[in-house]
A = this chain, B = another copy of it.
């Protein structure tokens, strides 16, 4: 297999890379074991490991402690722009958007939520929590709150309709805009790992956003925990 001048590990690396490029190995697939690959290529494990390590460095493969090596997913490119729609963002990225609502409740706003929504602490909010999916794979957890006084019956709309945008539209808000987004990072907790089908300790991008109506009045305050392996946020400056 090795051509003159090309180290054996590099030939193996190039073979695996082209199998990934041609989708013989697909995003999310587990790589065969070291023993299987060593046998297939007729090399020792040291040589095989060098080829695999090179592809991990380049980001084509991803090692998960205790569970093997996988073909890296292409992260969803998620635009943080002035106009806000998870469904539209996912559709633009060529993915099928989905949502699983785990909790919808009405309760008094905590001080942070009240400040973000410019209501009094203790005024009631609708709270919706769940998992956002792309092509049925979990990519993010979200918790979002809305002033209850402004949107009576929103809980029923959030449960029945497929997107927050659709629920707000039906509640009489034809359009809304993203005012500010705060971005930080965390690592996946045990509870989040189960919901995201991910590993504890993996990095998360955390966004906190306030959305307003066209008069600048806050209508939604949301926090989203994006699994960084599956989502890249993008901000573009409009000229």
Contacts and interface: CB of A to CB of B under 8 A. Distances in A.
Interface string A204-239: 110000000000100000000000100011111101
Given A201-B201, A203-B203, A205-B205, A184 B75 contact: yes
Given A201-B187, A204-B203, A205-B205, A182 B82 contact: no
Dominant secondary structure at the A interface: strand
- How many copies the complex holds: the figure is 2
Contacts of A187: 187, 201, 203
Interface stretch (A27-35, A47-55, A155-163, A173-181): A173-181
B182 A203 contact: no
A108 to B, nearest CB: 17
A74 interface: no
A233 B203 contact: no
A174 B179 CA distance: 30
B180 A205 contact: no
Size category of the binding interface on chain A: 20 to 34
A22 to B, nearest CB: 19
Contacts of A205: 183-185, 205
Given A185-B185, A228-B185, A228-B186, A234 B203 contact: no
Nearest to A233: B183
A37 interface: no
Contact of A236 (B180, B201, B216, B239): B180
A226 to B, nearest CB: 8
Question: What are the 4 closest A-B residue pairs judged by CB atoms, nearest first?
Answer: A185-B203, A185-B228, A185-B185, A183-B233
29 contacts: A75-B184, A80-B183, A80-B235, A81-B237, A82-B237, A177-B237, A178-B237, A180-B234, A180-B237, A181-B235, A182-B232, A182-B234, A183-B205, A183-B232, A183-B234, A184-B205, A184-B228, A184-B233, A185-B203, A185-B205, A185-B228, A186-B203, A186-B228, A187-B187, A187-B201, A187-B203, A201-B201, A203-B203, A203-B204
